[in-house]
Amino acid sequence: MLPELGHFSLALALFLALVQSILPLIGANRGDVRLMRSAEVTAYAQVVFVGFAFAALLNAFITSDFTVLNVTNNSNSLKPMIFKIAATWGSHEGSLLLWVFILTIFGAGVAIFGSNLPTSLRARTLSVQAWISVGFLSFMLLTSNPFDRIFPPPLDGDDLNPLLQDIGLAMHPPLLYFGYVGFSIVFSFAAAALIEGRVDAAWARWVRPWTLAAWVSLTAGIALGSWWAYYELGWGGWWFWDPVENVSFMPWLLGTALLHSAIVTEKRDAFKSWTILLAILTFSLSLLGTFIVRSGLLTSVHAFAVDPERGMYILGLLALSIGGSLTLYAWRAPAMVGGGLFKPVSREAGLLINNLILAAATGTVLFGTLYPLFLEAITGDKISVGPQFFNAAFIPMMLPLIFLMGLGPFLSWKRADLAGIVQRLKFVAGLTLIASLVIWYLYERGPVLAFVMLLLAVWLMFTTLHEWAMRIRLFESDLKTAWRRARNLPRAAYGMTTAHLGVALLMLGMIGSTVWKDEVIKFAEPGTTLEIGDFDVTFEGTDRVRGPNYFSERGILRVEMDGEYVTTLYPERRTYPVAQSTTTESAIRSTPAGDLYASISAPSLESAEAAGAWTLRILYEPLVILIWIGSFMLCFGGLLSLSDRRLRVGAPKKSKTLGSQAQAAE
Amino acid sequence: MRRLIAFAPLIIAVVFGGFFFWGLNPDRDPNEIPSVLISQPAPEFSLEKVEGLDTPGFSRADFGDLDRPVIVNVFASWCVPCRAEHTVLTKFVEQDGARLFGINYKDKPKDAVKWLEELGNPYERIGSDIDGRAGIEWGISGVPETFIVREDGTVLYRYVGPVVGEEPEKRFRLALIEAGAIQVGE
């Protein structure tokens, strides 16, 4: 009964969304407050109905109701509870329901927190949001009903893909969707502003917290996915430039650009049409991600079951939403004239270059991801674009951005004093060079590009710290004053400092884990000792272990350093009998200095199997932990910024009164 | 001008949309390339030896008397990347003890002999596929292409393009290890 009620409430939500997509717009045009305010009621009601549907599906998974097809296909009664819950969004239908649920949560969020928005802007934003709801709810009801029944019900379910039975991946989709869908609000804001034909500082101020919230979630989602790939796939890599990774990365890059361009629109009333365009494109890329993952358009390890009919439907949605908004943009944007003139050396110019680089980088990733499709369409040739392309094209492009990132915060608005900054940063530059040379001497290997990356990472770290020290006058006054200033610094400033430091750490982690890593792949019999980094790893043999819904063969690796026992690693090869597949469970010894990473795979030669020999893959990846710490700092910095009083109070004050305060904040 | 620029994103989006529409054609399978032949028996073919070489010819039946999986490499003297790949394959043979069979694709025997004399001949058997029939049977999309084939004639792995460069070599070596075509370590 509950699944049917869930299905029915989805239909009701669709009806509400239809109402919400029309009435408030009419109201905004006629100036009818009652019609405009109807959007709030329908937004709340939508979240209730979709939430109910989601709870119904969740319940079906928790109680292992195998009369529901979706549960049968993706769950199993033996599976641990946490993964039964996670399986709710493990399938195409379930994840779509989660997607829409988050969409309606954000819609309700605008209704709740938007009390200080002008009524017409709020009504239009909610209306645009409802269009997206209509698109996805109808998609779900017409092509992907999560509540389909099966008769006769089977005794037990087919189990979820074992690769996905993991805590990192259980949390990955919700966070990623919060990010993707969060940008829908920004998109709705942009479309509403285009309909109204007005973009001002106040608009940018309302958009910023939503962008930040979405960006933080997306960052966390991507980092979690990357972490999962690192320890679950058994390759020791954390980024593969897989199409599905790329489609989550592109909105992130563009979202980062949006985050920064919105600052300029807010503070200086410039970059208006650019900010609007970024808002549209960021969400468009999120939609594109949804499309690519669900249509089977590109080859990827992540893709859901391929269904051309679904692909067509999403393509139609894409055409309407992206095509529609860009048409609106082409029609309205030329009328938007930005204020705020600035000199070539100024914070505006710095942020402009930041935006150009980020946009170009996004374009590069987009091109590389879709190039196989383009080539196949034109010449019929099938190729795949590998990491080589992305590493060669993307990394050098980002390096100037990192340099600028260190410099940017020192630039003042309108016109900056370049000579003064050079004078001020001479010391930092020297320190950077010395520190980098010392680090390089200690590790002493890698290509020139890696050294340039190292130099820039250290540069970013030092300049960011220096900028913070300068703000609190750490070296120019006594400690008491510095402490007082440090406490009075707005949280947004700390947010920036934390996030930028996070990028520096992230880069160090990337360099360490790719350039300085040590890797051994060996076909080894028990008793073999391998040398890796400073460790001696002895393969002592394998044993068998049983889990709740799997059994595994476990390698026993004794790790020693200079003859001293360090630890024992147990990499596993798990076999899931119900899902009929195997997974690699790598064993990792993580320290701040580096990760010792081991995975095993079964031999295919029968003679070798008899001798108990396995293929061992052991890596030592220095500093890889900095990637996770850096990602965490990015998120934490975003949250700090989000909690800034300015945004929390969020009142649309007249831009004159906030001038001085805002100047300090940035 | 401003108006034109404002239209640019829309135009680009429409072009992308066109490609996506094409890509959704239900007959199209993006996974097609890697999956053809994999885990399938190798096709029937029987090739004479290359004229002027002592290396024997190569046919489907030759898989019968093997002790472990082998590499089957499709090459030609006119193919420039093959030259670079030749070094890598030779290394697999000489250092790792892999067994290498070759299909000389649409090549003049004279040129092939000269090419092998210049670079060395790591192949145990080479079939001369002058008219490219065997190439069609194997479904190759270009030269070079390299397969790993099990003793019973099952194709285990396919690599399109030259196995050259750090990453491809590592991938290919791993495939060799997993297939049991080479012994690593002791």
Interatomic CA distance for residues A20 and A104, integer angstroms = 12
Chain A residues in contact with B68 (beta carbon < 8 A): 605
Position A571: which residue type?
A: P
Residue spans of alpha helices (H) in A69-166: 69-74, 81-87, 92-113, 119-143
Interatomic CA distance for residues B101 and B82, integer angstroms = 14
- CA B90 to chain A, closest CA, distance in angstroms equals 20
Determine contact, residues A297/B23, Cβ cutoff 8 Å. yes
Window B:155-184, CB contacts with A under 8 Å: 165, 167, 173-174, 177-180, 183-184
Would you call B68 and A605 a contact, using CB atoms and an 8 Å cutoff? yes
Is a pLDDT exceeding 90 seen at residue A583? no
Is a pLDDT exceeding 50 seen at residue A664? no
Beta strands in chain B (DSSP E): 46-47, 58-59, 70-75, 100-105, 125-129, 145-149, 155-160
Which run of H or of E encompasses A501? helix A491-515
Chain B residues in contact with A386 (beta carbon < 8 A): 167
Is a pLDDT exceeding 80 seen at residue B35? no
What region does A139 belong to: left with phi over 0, alpha with psi -120 to 50, or beta? alpha
Give the pLDDT of residue A57: 94
Percent of chain A at pLDDT > 70 equals: 90
Percent of chain A at pLDDT > 90 equals: 34
pLDDT band at A51 (very low <50, low <70, confident <90, very high): very high
* Residue of B177, B182, B183 to mutate, interface with A, max A Cβ within 10 Å: B177
Q: Does B30 touch chain A (CB under 8 A)?
A: yes
Chain A residues in contact with B17 (beta carbon < 8 A): 315, 318-319, 322-323
CA distances from B92 to A408, A515, B57, B176, B177 (A): 51, 25, 21, 9, 11
For A471, the token pair is 């703000």
For A354, the token pair is 């930041």
Tens of pLDDT along A87-146? 888 888 888 999 999 999 999 999 988 878 888 999 999 999 999 999 999 999 998 888
Determine contact, residues A28/A198, Cβ cutoff 8 Å. no
pLDDT band at A662 (very low <50, low <70, confident <90, very high): very low
Query: Is the previous residue joined to B144 through a cis bond, with omega within 30 degrees of 0?
Result: yes
- CA B51 to chain A, closest CA, distance in angstroms equals 33
Would you call B167 and A296 a contact, using CB atoms and an 8 Å cutoff? no
Q: Can you tell me which residue has the tokens 């993706």?
A: A74
Q: Which long-range contacts (CB under 8 A, 24 or more apart) does A266-269 make?
A: A266/A201, A266/A204, A266/A205, A266/A208, A266/A662, A267/A201, A267/A413, A267/A662, A267/A663, A267/A666, A268/A339, A268/A340, A268/A342, A268/A348, A268/A413, A268/A414, A269/A200, A269/A201, A269/A338, A269/A339, A269/A340, A269/A655
Interatomic CA distance for residues A264 and A352, integer angstroms = 9
Is a pLDDT exceeding 60 seen at residue A570? yes
Q: Does B2 touch chain A (CB under 8 A)?
A: yes
Instruction: Decide: helix, strand or coil at residue B72.
Output: strand
Query: Is the previous residue joined to A152 through a cis bond, with omega within 30 degrees of 0?
Result: yes
Residues A558-580: what's their mean pLDDT?
A: 84
Residues A47-73: what's their mean pLDDT?
A: 91
Interatomic CA distance for residues A127 and A347, integer angstroms = 36
Instruction: Decide: helix, strand or coil at residue B135.
Output: helix
pLDDT band at A580 (very low <50, low <70, confident <90, very high): low
Interatomic CA distance for residues A167 and A656, integer angstroms = 49
Is a pLDDT exceeding 50 seen at residue A466? yes
Chain B residues in contact with A315 (beta carbon < 8 A): 17, 20-21, 24
Which of A39-43, A202-206, B56-60 is most confident? A39-43
For A527, the token pair is 């008793």
Work out the mean pLDDT of chain A and round it to a whole number. Answer: 85
Q: Comparing A506 with B111, which gets the higher pLDDT?
A: A506
pLDDT band at B27 (very low <50, low <70, confident <90, very high): low
Give the pLDDT of residue A658: 38
Q: Does B64 touch chain A (CB under 8 A)?
A: no
Give the pLDDT of residue A414: 85
Determine contact, residues B114/B50, Cβ cutoff 8 Å. no
Q: Does B97 touch chain A (CB under 8 A)?
A: no
Instruction: Decide: helix, strand or coil at residue A594.
Output: strand
The domains found in chain B, sorted by start residue, are 37-179 (3.40.30.10)
Residues A378-383: what's their mean pLDDT?
A: 73
Tens of pLDDT along A393-450? 898 899 999 999 999 888 888 888 888 888 888 888 999 999 888 888 877 667 888 8
Provide the 10 A C-beta neighbour count for residue A447: 9
- CA B132 to chain A, closest CA, distance in angstroms equals 19
Phi, psi of B104 (to 5 degrees): -85, 105
Give the pLDDT of residue B37: 64
Would you call A388 and B183 a contact, using CB atoms and an 8 Å cutoff? no
C-alpha count within 13 angstroms, C-beta hemisphere, residue A301? 10
pLDDT band at A298 (very low <50, low <70, confident <90, very high): low
User: Which residue, A177, A124, A502, A499, is CA-closest to A328?
Assistant: A124
Residues A464-489: what's their mean pLDDT?
A: 86
> Which residues neighbour B66 within 8 Å (Cβ) at sequence distance 6 or greater?
B99, B151
Give the pLDDT of residue A660: 38
Is a pLDDT exceeding 70 seen at residue A652? no
The domains found in chain A, sorted by start residue, are 1-165 (no CATH), 170-336+348-360 (1.20.120), 417-516+627-632 (no CATH), 518-622 (no CATH)
Q: How many helices (H) and strands (E) does chain A have?
A: 22, 10
In chain A, the residue whose alpha carbon lies closest to the alpha carbon of B182 is A523
Position A237: which residue type?
A: G
Is a pLDDT exceeding 60 seen at residue A607? no
* Residue A327 CA from chain centroid, whole number: 28
pLDDT band at A606 (very low <50, low <70, confident <90, very high): very low
User: Which residue, A330, A272, A237, is CA-closest to A597?
Assistant: A237
Phi, psi of A522 (to 5 degrees): -140, 140
Determine contact, residues A296/A308, Cβ cutoff 8 Å. yes
Residue spans of alpha helices (H) in A305-346: 308-318, 324-332
Is a pLDDT exceeding 50 seen at residue A657? no
Give the pLDDT of residue A22: 93
Chain B residues in contact with A325 (beta carbon < 8 A): none
pLDDT band at A20 (very low <50, low <70, confident <90, very high): very high
Is a pLDDT exceeding 80 seen at residue B102? yes
Interatomic CA distance for residues A147 and A73, integer angstroms = 12
The secondary structure of A85-96, three-state, reads: HHHCCCCHHHHH
Would you call B185 and A524 a contact, using CB atoms and an 8 Å cutoff? yes
User: Which residue, B64, B92, B82, B81, is CA-closest to B149?
Assistant: B64
pLDDT band at A282 (very low <50, low <70, confident <90, very high): very high
**Prediction pTM value:** 0.79
Interatomic CA distance for residues A488 and A649, integer angstroms = 17
For A67, the token pair is 């009369």
* Residue of B24, B28, B31 to mutate, interface with A, max A Cβ within 10 Å: B24
Tens of pLDDT along A309-363? 777 888 888 999 999 999 999 988 888 876 767 888 888 899 999 999 999 999 9
Of residues A277, A319, A330, nearest to B17 (C-beta)? A319
For B164, the token pair is 């050259």
Q: Can you tell me which residue has the tokens 């001369």?
A: B128
